[in-house]
Amino acid sequence: MTAEKLLGDIIVFRDAVLEEIRNAESLGALEELRASAIGRARGRLNDFKKHLPGLPAADKPPFGQRFNAVKVELESAIDARHAELSASAPAPAALDLSMPARRQWRGAKHPVTIVMEEIEVIFRDLGFTIATGPEAEHEWYNFGALNFPPDHPAMDMHDTLYLERGGLLRTHTSPVQIRTLQSYPPPIRIIAPGNVFRRDFFDASHAPMFAQIEGMAVDEGISFVDLKATLANFANRFFGETKTRFRPSFFPFTEPSAEMDVSCRICNGAGCATCKQTGWVEILGCGMMHPSVLEAAGLNAQRYSGWAFGMGPGRMALQRFGIPDIRIEYDSDISFLEQFAQ
Ligand SMILES: [Zn+2]
């Protein structure tokens, strides 16, 4: 390429870039242009330098001068356009010092978790150990070992979610009792907290998945007196000074069986909508463990006896915190949950 042609091309390039600079409508576009036209790394202007070694010695100085002059001209044109665009850009908004600071996020435990932890603390003080087990269970652990005869209507009551090959989602935490009895010799005192599953629709007081806490004590000479004393002690600690009563009930895995009520905290036993005008609120089911359950777990029922109870921390949270509808506990509504921040 001749020096004359090269000097002409560089002027054509300069004019094209000057046109692009005039047309740049934003600082971002202008800076992109600066990089692509005269940038050290990928500026198109540098392409002209590649021809320098091939030029006759006499033509090198005029080319170098032209090259530098164009570079300086383009730089100052870009700077000028930059100043122009900066001047017309909207000024940043003034600081509004009266704007409230962003609130700090305060984490909160879920009300059901709070209730479960309180229950666990009380029973640990009474010498109970926390035990857990699988949520997907064998039918035998969920029903068979717990003295549910095959096709017993009590199994309908539980409306089970069955899995393939005889498995199911546990309908109560009672399988943990059997697993514990199989693994450890008496004396045993455990509570088993965990999630359980039923084929219930969501309504104000039912959910297809909910937390349960069961407890069990097994040893020689354990009687209903121990059961009543332990649960009355628990109720007084959990609810504050309260009256309790036991009503006969039925569960396949306990005999005799009972429901325990506490006097309604909202009306102090006078009767209100929450306690359906009875003055009492049911909080748990309990009873002496059926000898068949002890035998199924491999214990000698002649030698050992025990009792068990089960309660729903979700419903207890309704009572404790005055929550009107159990579905609120599942909503993950921040404005509800943050009320429990400590
Ligand atoms: Zn009441």
Question: What are the tens digits of pLDDT across the range 169-226?
Answer: 999 999 999 999 999 999 999 999 999 998 888 877 678 899 999 999 999 999 999 9
Read off the pTM. 0.65
In the reported structure, the alpha carbon of residue 267 is separated from the centroid of ligand 1 by a whole-number distance in angstroms of 4
In the reported structure, the alpha carbon of residue 244 is separated from the centroid of ligand 1 by a whole-number distance in angstroms of 14
Write down the H helix ranges in the chain.
Answer: 3-23, 27-38, 60-88, 111-125, 139-142, 153-158, 175-183, 224-239, 291-296, 313-321, 334-337
In the reported structure, the alpha carbon of residue 265 is separated from the centroid of ligand 1 by a whole-number distance in angstroms of 6
Quote the tokens at residue 270.
């006078």
Helix, strand, or coil here: 141? helix
Q: Alpha carbon of 90 to those of 24, 80, 118, 129: distances in Å? A: 17, 18, 58, 67
In the reported structure, the alpha carbon of residue 37 is separated from the centroid of ligand 1 by a whole-number distance in angstroms of 82
Mean pLDDT of 292-310: 93
What tens digit of pLDDT does each residue of 239-260 get?
A: 888 889 999 999 888 999 999 9
Size of the chain in residues: 342
In the reported structure, the alpha carbon of residue 316 is separated from the centroid of ligand 1 by a whole-number distance in angstroms of 14
Average predicted confidence (pLDDT) for the chain:
88
- Percent of the chain topping pLDDT 70: 96
What's residue 264's pLDDT? 81
In the reported structure, the alpha carbon of residue 145 is separated from the centroid of ligand 1 by a whole-number distance in angstroms of 38
**Distance between CA atoms of residues 243 and 232, nearest Å:** 8
**Distance between CA atoms of residues 193 and 294, nearest Å:** 21
In the reported structure, the alpha carbon of residue 253 is separated from the centroid of ligand 1 by a whole-number distance in angstroms of 31
What's residue 95's pLDDT? 77
* Residue with the larger pLDDT of the pair 182 and 267: 182
User: Is residue 289 within a helix (H) or strand (E), and if so which, with residue range?
Assistant: strand 280-289
